[in-house]
Amino acid sequence: MRRLKPHEAASLPREALEERVVSLLRRCTSLQALRGAHAHLIRLRLPRLTAAFALSKLLAACGPAAAPASYARNLFDQIPDPTAFCYNSLIRALPAGGPALDVYRRMLRAGSPCPNTFTLNFALKACAAAPAPGEGRQLHAQAFRQGFERSAYVQTGVLSLYAKCNEVALARAVFDGMPGVKNLAAWSAMIGGYSRAGMVNEALGLFREMQAVGVEPDEVTMVSVISACAKAGALDLGRWVHAYIDRKGITVDLELSTALIDMYAKCGLIERARRVFDAMVERDTKAWSAMIVGLATHGLVEDALGLFSRMLDLKVRPNNVTFIGVLSACAHSGLVDDGRRYWSAMQNLGIKPSMENYGCMVDLLCRSGLLDDAFSFVIGMPISPNSVIWRTLLVASKSSNKMDIVESASKRLLELEPHDPENYVLLSNLYASNSQWDRVSYMRKMMKDNNVTAIAGCSSIEINGYLHKFVVSDDSHPEIKEIRLVLREIADRVRRSGHKPWTAAVLHDVAEEEKEAALCEHSERLAIAYGLLKTKAPHVIRVVKNLRFCPDCHEVAKIVSKCYNREIIVRDRVRFHKFMEGSCSCKDFW
């Protein structure tokens, strides 16, 4: 369409002129084209009302990916009396989070115009991105006061906010209160909230409900479902979901492919993760990073580092997550010199190390027995070390006499997290391993004084599509009698193999027999016993544990894999352990 000349614009009625403005902007597919159209409109010397209309439409054409935030702000500031549409357009154009919320606050201070349902929904998205759950609750209250609480658009925004901020109970209350048939966005948000909160059975149960009522999922929904399977280590469910995606013809985009890589890696099927990765036509940094981290977690160090070299050869720029995988690979094999070289390479690439990157370096030095170097590295960090880093130092101090490091690390850890039970358990474990029972008692007193309750080790195993969870000395499982019969049989075979229980892992000053009994009912041992009870070879027993593997249970798992001729894969908080024929893939280095 031919562009107008100033004298032609002056002769057109306002409605026709505005129609030409809309037509002009509709053809703008790039920032350059948008700026060109803006310059053309300025040259037309439009009447005041039409000029304001043109600016508002220009602003609406802006977005986080279409134009810089500064350009959108400049357009907004030129509009004499911005409407709600203008405010909404600016909130949408700015990066989600603080900047967008600032505009919403500015609108409220101005007093006019009043926010509408679109404004509230955009502001809710900004709160979710920040995250700012407190302000989100205020927005929810405003929606109620202004009569917008029944709007499906606003309800979905509130639900998404609570789900993304891990306020799962509030999200579910909103979800259950939505009238009619809920839309896809609502189902996806609720499933995503459950997945992020680690409520895997709830996420998958809601997905089944969604199917039952006939709501067809899209790739966003499936990313959440796949992520839930990944967190739980639910391989059978993950495979079923992947087959469902193929069967329904759901678009497998970059994000969904990356989620599948992550799921297969976290469920212990790293070969399948690699097949998904190799089949990808396009791979971004996230996909490369997911594959490298997966290989590292499985102890496939050469594969992880080789893939990283290939990534660099293809000019794909790594990020912090990529180097978490690279440095973790070095840590799992004690490659100190390589780890230091990669650390330098990361900084040479201009990548600012994250707390997780610092943690990987500390882990590498600690695992390699370089405790003094690790402590010096921590003291020299330009950012304050977090609790994970101090815990890493403490774990490494168990078999050393570096009491100065123990005292310093324990002091900082309890200052940072005085109510985290894991810290007290770790310190009790450290003191118990040296038979310092007075200090163990002191730790228990501190826990009592601070109203801290210990976190029980929890292990889960998937049988026939359902997750069975166990904690130490768990009596709640309906088949616990049968499980204990298997445990007794395991204990008998392990004893005959010559294994002597590592009773130092029991944090109580009790008789050796009681300590041995306590070890026999650790959560990972209950889960393995249940796997033996319910499955037959060659079915792989797959267990997910929330804490580090108990050293005694690790030895027992090796013996069980040989005595029962079973492959056992356990994912603890740090890495995978693949037991076959009496040995572990970690080579006893974890």
pLDDT tens-digit series, residues 156-175? 889 999 999 889 999 999 99
Residue 538 covered by a domain? yes
Residue 284 covered by a domain? no
- The answer for residues whose C-beta is within 8 angstroms of residue 112's C-beta and 6 or more apart is none
Strands 576-580 and 541-545: unpaired
State how many domains the chain has.
1
Q: What per-residue confidence (pLDDT) applies to 513?
A: 47
Q: What per-residue confidence (pLDDT) applies to 531?
A: 97
d(CA 122, CA 88): 7
Residue 303 covered by a domain? no
d(CA 426, CA 423): 5
Q: What per-residue confidence (pLDDT) applies to 507?
A: 46
Q: What per-residue confidence (pLDDT) applies to 271?
A: 94
- In the chain, which residues have pLDDT < 50? 1, 507-515
Residue 267 covered by a domain? no
Q: Which two tokens stand for residue 306?
A: 């080789």
Residue 549 covered by a domain? yes
φ and ψ of 282, to 5 deg: -125, 135
Residue 95 DSSP one-character state: P
Q: Which two tokens stand for residue 238?
A: 């993950």
Q: What is the pTM of this model?
A: 0.76
Domain that holds residue 486: 458-584
246-249 own/partner pairs: CB under 8 Å, 24+ apart: 248/216, 248/217
Q: For the stretch 541-568, what's the b/e string if a residue is b when 16 or more beta carbons lie within 10 angstroms of its beta carbon?
A: bbbbbbbebbebbbbbbbbbbeebebbb
d(CA 567, CA 579): 6
Residue 558 covered by a domain? yes
450 three-class SS: coil
Q: What per-residue confidence (pLDDT) applies to 508?
A: 46
- The answer for residues whose C-beta is within 8 angstroms of residue 297's C-beta and 6 or more apart is 265, 266, 328, 575, 576
Q: What per-residue confidence (pLDDT) applies to 519?
A: 63
Residue 578 covered by a domain? yes
Strand partners of residue 458:
471
Residue 258 covered by a domain? no
Starting at the edge strand found earlier in the chain, the sheet holding 458-463 runs 466-471, 458-463, 541-545, 568-571, 576-580, 583-584
Which of 88, 30, 39 lies closest to 59, judged by CA? 88
